[in-house]
Amino acid sequence: MPTTHIPVLLDEAITHLNPKAGEHYIDCTLGGGGHAEEILNKTSPQGKLLAIDLDEEAIKICRQKLDQQRVIFIQENFSKIKQIYNEHFSLFKVNGILLDLGISSIELESEDRGFSFQIDGPLDMRFDKRQQLTAAEIVNKWTFNKLKRVIQEYGQESGRVASEVTKNIINARHRSPITKTKILVGAVLLAFRNILKTNKEIPWIGGSHPATRTFQALRIAVNDELNNLKKVLPQAMEILEPGGRLAVIAFHSLEDKIVKDYFRSEAKDCVCPPEIPVCRCGHKRQLKIITKKPVTPGEREIVANSRARSAKLRVAEKI
């Protein structure tokens, strides 16, 4: 069984969202319910929460954990937040929205999900088990160029590393289908041995296992994470009441850049290119940025929960 999920940047996220009694919130990434539980505590006794997650298991666990009289649970992609709001929560004014983009312990430590390179299991990586695309399909069926691009762009590996990893994955799948995480990890480690020209055990690089970035890349591709993030941000800002806040916790630079760029763009009136001297876009600012720099976890939190080390919290307020 997975260990208890520890919410990342809990105090910081709640402080910046500043929930008050009777206010209503949306948690787009319910996960283990840590943030949701604290929001419910702060908005008690009348505040309502719309709790969204793609993972059926997360919904099931949190139904037992949270006050069902005050929570509406929806298993769906947060990229459909406006539709979800209109269908299930439109009676309430939304004072704050949270997105915690990290993978939960429920998912990471489940043997049958394939998210972890440290646990041997089926190569799945779907947040939503109803969807068809899995990591196994990607590594076994995608072309060299397509697979390399995923590892290079989503895994943020160099071209050389991405090429070598892809080559070894394709060599492995020619021998037999790659259906287990352990087989994929072996292909990645062999790629690093080839690059480093060694038969010795490959050390962790910068505190990370050599397979970390490949697993990240495949998970992003399977779940279309970056496109979904781009879709949810403007919808979330539209749903919020003036003065309501949007808080996003990102865990790698690809996510963080999307959030940072969106906040910066919507915090100014004109978004015309610099070469156009007179504004023609007619764009009006939608928000003010609350966190001028991202909020990061302190040393104590990182010691208690090593998964928090890369977290960055950004917060904006609708005007």
CATH number at residue 158: 1.10.150.170
Question: Does the pLDDT value for residue 228 go beyond 90?
Answer: yes
- Minimum mean pLDDT range among 59-63, 182-186, 192-196, 270-274: 270-274
Is the distance from CB of 96 to CB of 17 less than 8 angstroms? Answer: yes
For 239-276, the DSSP string reads HEEEEEEEEEEE-SHHHHHHHHHHHHHHTSS----TT-
Residue type, 223: N
Do the domain assignments include residue 112? Answer: no
141 and 93, same structural domain?
A: no
250 and 284, same structural domain?
A: yes
Q: Which of 173, 206, 223 is the last residue of a domain?
A: 223
Is the distance from CB of 147 to CB of 166 less than 8 angstroms? Answer: yes
Residue 2: per-residue pLDDT: 47
- Minimum mean pLDDT range among 9-13, 18-22, 204-208, 218-222: 204-208
**For residue 211, what are its two tokens?**
């397979």
Q: Which of 223, 253, 273 is the last residue of a domain?
A: 223
209 and 140, same structural domain?
A: yes
Q: Which of 223, 258, 277 is the last residue of a domain?
A: 223
**pLDDT per position as a tens digit, 34-53:** 999 999 999 999 999 999 99
102 and 233, same structural domain?
A: yes
**pLDDT per position as a tens digit, 162-177:** 999 999 999 999 999 9
Confidence of residue 1 (pLDDT cuts 50, 70, 90): very low
Do the domain assignments include residue 132? Answer: yes
Is the distance from CB of 120 to CB of 182 less than 8 angstroms? Answer: yes
Do the domain assignments include residue 3? Answer: no
Residue 206: per-residue pLDDT: 67
> Among positive and negative, which fits the CA dihedral 167, 172, 177, 178?
negative
Say which residue, 276 or 59, is predicted with more confidence. Answer: 59
User: Residue 149 is part of which domain span?
Assistant: 117-223
Region 179-206: what's the mean pLDDT?
A: 90
205 and 68, same structural domain?
A: no
Burial of 9 per CB tally in 10 Å (0-12, 13-18, 19+): buried
232 and 189, same structural domain?
A: no
293 and 235, same structural domain?
A: yes
Do the domain assignments include residue 111? Answer: no
Is the distance from CB of 249 to CB of 101 less than 8 angstroms? Answer: yes
Percent of the chain with pLDDT over 90: 87
Residue 201: per-residue pLDDT: 79
218 and 181, same structural domain?
A: yes
210 and 200, same structural domain?
A: yes
Distances (CA, A) of 122 to 34, 58, 244: 28, 19, 42
Residue 181: per-residue pLDDT: 98
**For residue 56, what are its two tokens?**
């059926």
97 and 65, same structural domain?
A: yes
Rounded distance between C-alpha atoms, residue 126 and residue 90, angstroms: 29
Q: What is the mean pLDDT of the chain?
A: 95
214 and 123, same structural domain?
A: yes
Into how many domains does the chain fold?
Answer: 2
